[in-house]
């Protein structure tokens, strides 16, 4: 039977991680990441077991402390390349439960690992059955991106966030990362001088309280929104570390973090895409947009952004008159299509022009076609 344990192997050493991967059998699936990516991965998902291979740089102790601070229940197995006593003691103090010295103790590792995994799984099952140990899952980050301006990113991001908020009991936050020009504040008629930029002074101790303090709550849906500073100079001083910390903090306090992005790639956008659980690429059914999507795919490969496992397409503004139809697009796409949204000028324009939220409450009657299509998409991401 396939085990449900989430096992993360952190390693920059190909020889060792191949040895380890080959020796773990019996239905365990192991995800391999490099040391530089460990912080991101443990923020993205709660790991049951982390096998941490000693990196070149001296970051093992702080990385292990970090993993334990994010998720105290994670079991850490350290693979050391030497038997430096002080180092191993520090590693154990930092929170590693087991260590093996490689290559000498590889066979010991093979013989001990099944029991270690089994024990962990048994304990986990016991805990899952007692209600008081319920831990809130990690929230998910969804980003909406497209290389084309005007494809509908901001309207869709705002409507998806409102939909998830009104149709479920989930905590939802919408973040406008169009740091130069904004957009969400207009779509949702938010008048405020508090923006994302007000969080920069507290970035090192950023917590849920700071975020709730700066976010605006929409009256009708009670959706939380972090608006853009709408200022190129301020935007320039925002670092990618800030973006990463902001998103990680939001995912600890909200079930869904919906991120609206601009139509270009810079270091803020790359960071947001990397931190995302899912990327929704907004495509309109025309040849130029398909060409831009191809270019984006190539650029992502060059920048090392992992797209295939988490990207899907939202085909927006579909209609009978389109140059290209849904079935034509499907054949040429390398990503699955998560939803289609009809072209709905008539329904949408009054809301957009008045800056009126499209979704206000659950069970609204007379949803416009645009809102109906987004609702279908929103309900599909809940599973
Ligand atoms: N499905 C749709 N039907 C009709 N108009 C749409 C649709 N999606 C977006 N729009 C309109 O297209 C314009 C650009 O949308 P916007 O969300 O600002 O795009 P982006 O954020 O990608 O630049 C807006 O006027 C919006 O109302
Ligand atoms: Mg926009």
**The ligand 1 atom nearest the CA atom of 316:** 1
Which backbone phi and psi does 305 adopt, to 5 degrees? Answer: -90, 125
DSSP label of 233 = H
Judge if 187 and 329 occupy the same domain. yes
Average pLDDT on 240-255 reads: 94
pLDDT band (50, 70, 90) for residue 128: low
List the CATH number of the domain containing 109: 3.40.50.2300
Q: How many other C-beta atoms can be found within 10 angstroms of the C-beta atom of residue 331? A: 6
Give the DSSP H or E segment for 345.
helix 345-354
Residues 179 and 281 in one domain: yes
Mutate to test the pocket of ligand 1, among 150, 261, 292, 322 (most ligand atoms within 8 A of CB): 150
Q: What is the pTM of this model?
A: 0.78
Q: 156 and 120 share a domain?
A: no
The token pair at 83 is 């038997």
Tell which atom from ligand 1 comes closest to the C-alpha of 156. 17
Residues framing ligand 1 (Cβ under 6 A): 146, 149-155, 183, 316-317, 341, 343-345, 348, 352, 370
pLDDT > 90 fraction of the chain, expressed in percent and rounded: 79
The predicted structure's pLDDT at residue 133: 34
Residue 168 and residue 28 share a domain: no
Average pLDDT of the chain, as a whole number: 92
Lowest mean pLDDT among 15-19, 126-130, 334-338: 126-130
The answer to whether residue 2 is domain-embedded is no
Which of residues 72, 104, 133 is at a domain's end? 133
Question: What integer is the mean pLDDT of 28-44?
Answer: 92
pLDDT score, position 215:
97
One domain, residues 254 and 212: yes
Residue 292 sits in a domain whose CATH number is: 3.40.50.300
State in Å: Cα 249 to ligand 1 middle.
29
271 in a structural domain? yes
CA–centroid distance, residue 261 to ligand 2 (Å): 7
Res 132: pLDDT? 37
Ligand 1: residue whose CA is nearest its atom 15 = 152
pLDDT at position 137, please? 55
Q: Last residue of some domain: 103, 133, 163?
A: 133
**d(Cα 239, Cα 83) in Å, to the nearest integer?**
39
Are residues 284 and 161 part of one domain? yes
Residue 179 lies in a domain: yes
* Residue 319 in this model has a pLDDT that exceeds 50: yes
Strands 75-80 and 172-176, by their bridges, are unpaired
pLDDT of residue 1: 52
Query: What pLDDT shows up at residue 322?
Result: 86
d(CA 250, CA 258): 10
Query: In terms of domains, do 182 and 251 share one?
Result: yes
Same domain, 114 and 198: no
Q: Are residues 337 and 270 in the same domain?
A: yes
Asked if residue 131 has pLDDT above 50, the reply is: no
- Kindly report, residue by residue over 177-189, the tens digit of the pLDDT: 999 999 999 999 9
Q: How much of the chain, in percent, has pLDDT values that exceed 70?
A: 97
Query: Would you say 186 and 352 are in contact if contact means Cβ atoms under 8 Å apart?
Result: no
Query: Are residues 246 and 200 both part of a single domain?
Result: yes
Proximal ligand: closest to the CA of 182? 2
**What's the 151 CA to ligand 1 centre distance in angstroms?**
6
Domain boundary among 115, 133, 151: 133
Tell me if 182 is assigned to some domain.
Answer: yes
62: buried, middle or exposed (CB in 10 Å: 19+, 13-18, 0-12)?
exposed
236 and 334 within one domain: yes
- Reference 158, options 230, 260, 253, 227; nearest CA is 260
Residue 294 located in a structural domain: yes
Atom 9, ligand 1: residue with shortest CA distance = 152
Which whole number is the average pLDDT over 321-326?
Answer: 86
Residue range 48-68: average pLDDT?
A: 95
If asked whether residues 248 and 289 sit together in one domain, one would say yes
User: In the chain, how many domains are there?
Assistant: 2
Express each pLDDT in 143-175 by its tens digit: 999 999 999 999 999 999 999 999 999 999 999
Span from the CA of 326 to the centroid of ligand 1 (angstroms): 18
Q: What residue numbers bound the domain in which 47 lies?
A: 7-133
């Amino acid at each position: 039977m396939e085990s449900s344990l989430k096992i993360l192997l952190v390693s920059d050493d190909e020889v060792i991680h191949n040895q380890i991967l080959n020796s773990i059998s019996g239905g365990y699936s192991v995800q391999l990441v490099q040391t530089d990516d460990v912080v991101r991965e443990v923020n993205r998902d709660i790991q049951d077991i982390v096998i941490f291979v000693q990196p070149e740089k001296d970051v093992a102790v702080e990385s292990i402390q970090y993993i334990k601070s994010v998720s105290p229940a994670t079991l850490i197995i350290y693979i050391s390349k030497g038997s430096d006593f002080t180092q191993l003691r520090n590693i154990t103090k930092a929170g590693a439960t087991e260590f093996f010295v490689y290559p000498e103790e590889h066979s010991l590792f093979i013989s001990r690992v099944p029991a270690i995994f089994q024990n962990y799984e048994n304990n986990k099952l016991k805990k899952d059955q007692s209600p008081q140990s319920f831990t809130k899952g990690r929230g998910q980050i969804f980003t909406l991106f497209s290389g084309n301006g005007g494809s509908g990113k901001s309207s869709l991001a705002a409507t998806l966030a409102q939909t998830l908020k009104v149709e479920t009991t989930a905590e939802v936050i919408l973040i406008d990362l169009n740091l130069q020009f904004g957009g969400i504040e207009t779509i949702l008629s938010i008048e405020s001088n508090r923006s994302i930029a007000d969080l920069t002074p507290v970035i090192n101790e950023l917590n849920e309280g700071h975020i709730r303090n700066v976010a605006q709550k929409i009256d009708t849906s009670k959706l939380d929104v972090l608006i853009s500073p709408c200022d190129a100079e301020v935007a320039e001083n925002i670092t990618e570390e800030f973006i990463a910390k902001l998103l990680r903090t939001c995912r600890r306090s909200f079930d869904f973090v919906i991120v609206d992005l601009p139509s270009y790639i810079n270091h803020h956008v790359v960071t947001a895409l990397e931190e995302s659980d899912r990327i929704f690429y907004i495509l309109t059914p025309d040849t130029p947009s398909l060409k831009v999507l191809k270019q984006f795919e190539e650029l992502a490969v060059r920048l090392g952004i992992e797209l295939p496992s988490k990207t899907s397409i939202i085909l927006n503004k579909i209609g009978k008159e389109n140059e290209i139809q849904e079935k034509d697009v499907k054949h040429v796409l390398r990503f699955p299509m998560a939803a289609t949204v009809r072209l709905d000028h008539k329904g949408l324009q009054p809301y957009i022009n008045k800056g009126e939220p499209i979704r206000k409450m659950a069970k609204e009657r007379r949803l416009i076609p645009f809102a109906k299509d987004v609702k279908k998409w929103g309900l599909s991401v809940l599973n």
